[in-house]
Every structure is written in C-alpha cells, then in structure tokens.
Structure 1
Amino acid sequence: MKYLAAQYQGHHELVLVEKEIPKLKDHDVLIRVASATICGTDFHILEGKFPAEPPVVIGHEFAGYVEQVGSRVTSVNPGDLVTIEPHEFCGLCKFCRIGKEHLCLKRKGYGVRLDGGFAEFCVIPEKTVYKVPSGISPSVAALTENIGCCLHGMERANVQFGDDVVVLGGGFVGVVLAELARMKGAGRVCIVEPNDYRREVAVQRGFLAINPMSDDVERTIKEMTQGLGADVVIEAAGRIDTAKLTLQLVGNGGTILFFGVVPPEFSMEISPNVIFSRELTLMGSLINPYSHHKSIEVLERLHLEPLVTGHFALKDIKEAFRTAQSGNGFKVAVHPGVDRSH
C-alpha cells in the first residue's frame, strides 16, 4: 500500500512523495500518523545545518493510531493512540552502557536519519512506541518528545523551592520550561521575550514577562532579586546574544542552562575566574534520555492544547513551515490525511 510523505531530498528541498509501506518485522508497529508538530530541528535540517541523511521523511514529534502490529508486539494494539520516542541507540558504545544513551556515538533519529512523522504512515519499533492515556488529543500527544527534552533540562538545572528562575525566550519550550520550573517549586519565574503575543500568553499563564526591546533586562532582574541575580537562568532562544546575557543575569552560586540550540558558528568568551569566584554552574541539555514516559505523565498538567496554534494538512506542509517560522504563534501541527487546514 502506498502513502503520502514529506521527504527531505537534500539541498533545502522538501517534496511530497508516494512511498510503499514496508513489510512489518516481528516487533514493528505501523502507525497512521494523526499529528506531527514542527520543531526547530526541522528548520535546521532544511537549511542544511543539521546532519540528516536524505532522502528521508522528516518530522520527529508525532503521534498517531496503531494500524497494524508485528507478530511479537504485546504493548499496543490496533486503534491505540501512541506517541513515539524518536531515537535508536546502538547499545554497545560506552555511553549506552553507562546509562547515557542520549550521548550514543551512533544515535539515529526518526525524522532525521530514519523516516519520520510528516507522512500518512510510519513504521516504528515497538520499543520506542508509547501508549497515550485517554483524554489527550493527538496534537498534544505529538509534543511528548519535546516535553521530554524540557524535563531533562529541568532535571539538569535542578531548580529548588523558592528559586528565582529566568527563561530567555518565550516560545513553546520557553513556556514549558517556565511551567516545569513552577511545578518544581520555583519562587518567581520570569520569561524574557520580544514577541508581544508570546509575552502576553506568558502573563496570562501567570509568569512575569520582560520585553527586551523596551526594558533593561539586567536591571529589571537585579531589581526583582534585590540585586542578587537569578538562581537559575535558562537560555531557550538559541541565540548568541541571549547566551551571553545569561552571565549578566545569574547570581553567585547560580546555574546557567544552555537549552536552546545556538548555531555552532557562534562562540562567546568567559573568564574561568568568573566561574571560579562566583561558583557558577554552566551546563547543556541534550534531547530526552529516559524522560519520555515521565513526559506522558505530565502532559495534562501542562495545559498544552492552547499552545498548538496552527493546524495544516500534509499537502500544505510548506505553508505550515512558513507559519511556524513567522513566530506569531507557538507550535504548528501537520495532520496527514486531512484535506484542508482547520
């Protein structure tokens, strides 16, 4: 049986193609994709700035309904709504063997090197398929991988009760990181975001919000913290200017988490003496190790449905990417099999 898919051909080219559903292996699950959301990584792939292996169907944030299962699949059944943890690890390198699979030297991702979710169907091994509890929509279920990344980042940042937390960037992950910080017991959570719409949403969700285009961010944070600086500063915009700003906002003994993907051609300088004398902790956060299950558990508590602000049919995927790139909303979902935007 043939199905429609959005395939990255290399050289910035994304085209709709017809593909043939492969024969299922014993532990394979055939998924009818209901919703796939656009991620910044998808843009990096199309720009040639992320190591995908074309031709490949992109899209690594997706959910759908089980259509068929291999002969030895036991955890899901046809009709189940499922979400996908889109990584395969070698299991043999040092990092796989010490419980750090996300650092696997031979990691492969669905939607990056293996066919992903911008398609009517996708075949995924059972071990990376997770059943979604009732009451969660496919669009929210598609966000599970992204939420898992945020959970890992929050665990790395180790937010404590009463901490002052600043999130630089009020896009989807910025809002989710702020929500998670509040759930961890943070005292004050502030989002720095230039986009008026996103900043208004942050305020509606109960966060402090700063407009860096009109406000002095450093002075505002110092005033908020009685001159001490924030306990945790999270860079969630993926920009070199906000990465540099973290050092101006963090207080002594504080933690800086680089969560956003700053392009590798940019760099910044910091004196080791600053890290030493202020006892700072600087860290990164990569993908979602062992957090996909936890992500499913918190989906309902995060109130994510309002953050899916665009819905498109697969045939309109290029328009979906333009909408996502405009920055006028949060997450954009593509719904394979739907004839028109809704």
Structure 2
Amino acid sequence: MSYLAAEYQGKQDLAIVERKFKEIKGSDVLIRIESATICGTDVHILAGEHFAKAPVVIGHEFAGYVEAIGQDVSTIQVGDLVTVEPHIFCGNCKFCRIGKEHLCLNKLAFGVHLDGGFAQYCVVPERTVYKVPQGMSADVAALTENVGCCLHGVDRLDVKQGDHAIILGGGFVGIVLAELIRLRGASKVIVSEPNQIRRDMLLRRGFITIDPLNENLVEKVSSITNGLGADIIVEAAGRPDTAKQCVDLVGRGGTIMFFGVVPPSHSIEISPNDIFKRELTILGSAINPYSHHRSLEIMDSLHLDELVTHKFPLSRIDEAFEAARKGVGIKVAIHPNSTGGTSE
C-alpha cells in the first residue's frame, strides 16, 4: 500500500512521489490529510532561502482525520478531525528544562526535518495531535499552528490599551496579528500592504491601511500618530526592505518585533545610539510555544474561513505555490485527497 506525497528533493525541486505506509505502533497517529496550507516558510524552502532536510515532505500547517492509532494512544479516536502542532522537542536541553521548548537546541519540525502535510497521509506522535472543536472546518483547523505563532508574538509585544500599532505586511499573519493586537486593546491598528486584495480585506475588517507603493509610509504614519510614531511595529512581510523601515516608524519608548522570516543571508543596519536615545525594545518571535490549545479556543472569533482564498489538489501543488508566491489571494490550501480544481 502506498500514498502520494509532495517531496522536497533539494535545489528548489518539488516532486510528487509514492510513499509506503509504515507500521503504526505505540503512540503513532496516522492522519488522512484533509487540508494543508502553504506558509511563507514553505515558499522560502523552495526558493533555497530556508533549510529543509531533503528528501522530505514539506508542509507544517495541516489538519485531517485520524485513520489509525497505535496501542498506546488514549486521547483521540479513529475518525476524529485533528490538527498537528508540528514540532518535537528533546526535553533535555537547557531551554526545554526552563519552559522555553521553542528554543530547543535539538528541535525537529514536521515539514522541515520530518515528513509533513503536503501528502495524502502523515504519521505523527500523539503528543502533537489536538482534536478540533465541533463545527470547525479542516481548512481553518490547518491554520492553528500559524495562529499560535501570532499569539506568541502578541504575548511578547505586551500590547497596552491605547497603543498605536503598525504591521508591515497584510498577508494571513498580518491580518491575524492585526486582529489579536486590536483584541488586546490597541486604539489604532495600521497595516501597510501593497496588495489591493489584501488591503480590501483589511478595510472590511475595520483596519487602517496604507499602500506603500503609492503613499509615503513615514509621512502617513506620522500623520496618523500625531507625529509621535507608533508604539508597536511588527515586521510581518519577511522582507529586508520592510525590516529596514521599522526604526523610522517607531516612536520613543516603542517596540519593534521581527515576526516575518527574512532570509538569513540578509541583514540591516540599526544605530545602537538610536536604540539608546529612544529607549527602543527590539524583539523576535519564533514559532508557537504552548499556544496551540489557545489557538483552537480563539479561532472562531477571528473569522478565518474567508482567508483561505485558494484551494488546490495535490496534483496541482506547483500552481498552488505559484499563487502563494504571487499573492493572488491570502491563504492557499492543498487538499491532498481531493481531485477538484482551484476555488477563489
């Protein structure tokens, strides 16, 4: 017996291959993948800008139905719709032992080191599996890890009521971050995004938007914030040019968070004296520690169904990645066990 999977083979090469089922035992959970969404990290992997241990099935945002379980599994049953927290931590390094598993020195990730979700089936350990609440679609459930990353980022920001926040990049994570920051009490949430489709979605959700291609971003932000600059800046586009803009947009005593995955080969210059004089705080935010369960609890309030704008079968994964790269929608999903066409 075999199943189909999209295997990253290195050198920007992705191929549909047949994989053989392995024996399910112990704490193993076999999932029939219903939906797997494309993340910016997946795009970076195929562009050669992010590490993946080839050959490996990429895709770390996925949900599906439990097909089989090992004899030690007790928290889920065959037929359950589940989502996967796609990391395995060693449990023994310093960071695992002080409650910072996401900084684990020996961390492994599905879709990077281990086979992930762009396949008809995937086997994961029970501890990474979460049962999906009643009524939640598989497309939304696949987004749980991504929402968890956003929750962790907003936790680190420590948003105060009345803050002015700017998000650079209005893709899926930009929209979710905007929603979460507003829920935390920010009085103005501004999103800079060149894509008209994404700006329209943000406007419908009640956010202030800026088109950085046709408006002067620094002047517009200065006007909105009465010349004071923003209290919070989040770089959510993963681009060197937007990363460089952060210091120009943040106000005194403000916080900059680098959330987007800027390719490791790029760097920016920041004046230590500027950080000193203005008492700036600069943060990073990595993955989603202890937030998967919280994500499932809050996702209904974020209205995520409308953000999954494109859906493709596994056989058309190249088209799906092209749509993600071009930003023609917001979130692109792969339905590995479907033969249907794309929907927009």
Match of 1:9 in 2: 9
1:149 aligns with 2:149: yes
State which drifts further: 240-249 or 130-139.
240-249
For residues 32-47 of structure 1, the aligned pairs below 5 Å read 32-47=32-47
| Structure 2 Cα separation of the partners of residues 8 and 264 of structure 1 | 20
Cα deviation code 1:38-63 (max 9, x no counterpart): 11111121222222111111110000
* 1:137-176 mapped onto 2 (5 Å cutoff): 137-176=137-176
Partner of 2:29: 29
Residue aligning to 2:262: 262
| Cα distance, 1:93 vs structure 2 | 0.9
Aligned-partner residue type, residue 212 of structure 1: P
Once the two structures are superposed, the pairs formed by residues 263-278 of structure 1 within 5 Å of their partners are: 263-278=263-278
1:154-173 CA distance string (max 9 Å, x none): 11111111110000011111
Any unmatched runs of 5+ in structure 2?
A: none
1:223-302 to structure 2, matched below 5 A, reads 223-302=223-302
Partners of 2:50 and 2:263 within 8 A in 1: no
Whether the aligned pair in 1 keeps the contact of 2:190 and 2:209 (CA below 8 Å) is: yes
Secondary structure of 1:299's match? helix
Question: What SS does structure 2 have at the residue aligned with 1:339?
Answer: coil
**Deviation string for 1:118-147 (max 9, x for gaps)?**
111111100000000011100000000000
Matches of 1:48 and 1:233, distance apart in 2: 28
Deviations 1:228-277 (A, max 9, x none): 11110101111111111111111111100000111122212222121111
TM-score (norm 2): 0.98
Separation of aligned partners in 1, 2:113 and 2:104 = 14
- Secondary structure in 1 matching 2:245: helix
Deviation string for 1:158-207 (max 9, x for gaps)?
11111100000111111110000011111000000111111111111100
Name the structure 2 match of 1:89.
Answer: 89
Amino acid at match of 1:233: I
Aligned-pair distance for 1:71?
Answer: 0.6
- After TM superposition, the structure 1 stretch with the greater mean CA deviation from structure 2, 161-170 or 262-271, is 262-271
Give 2:210's aligned residue. 210
Q: Equivalent residue of 2:167, what SS?
A: strand
User: Matched residue of 1:181: which SS?
Assistant: helix
Name the counterpart of 2:312: 312
Deviation of 1:25 after TM superposition, in Å, equals 2.1
Query: Secondary structure of 2:9's partner?
Result: strand
Q: TM-score, normalised by structure 1?
A: 0.98
1:51 & 1:220 partners in 2: Cα distance? 37
Gaps of 5+ in 1: none
**Residue identity matched to 1:315:** S
Equivalent residue, structure 1, for 2:110: 110
Where do 4+ consecutive residues of structure 1 move more than 2 Å? none
Paired positions, count: 342
Aligned sequence identity (%):
60
Once the two structures are TM-superposed, the CA of residue 226 in structure 1 deviates from its matched residue by 1.1
Q: CA deviation at 1:94?
A: 0.9
CA RMSD of aligned residues (A): 0.9
Alignment partner, residue 134 of structure 1: 134
CA distance in 2, matches of 1:49, 1:249: 27
1:67 maps to 2:74? no
Give 1:337's aligned amino acid: N
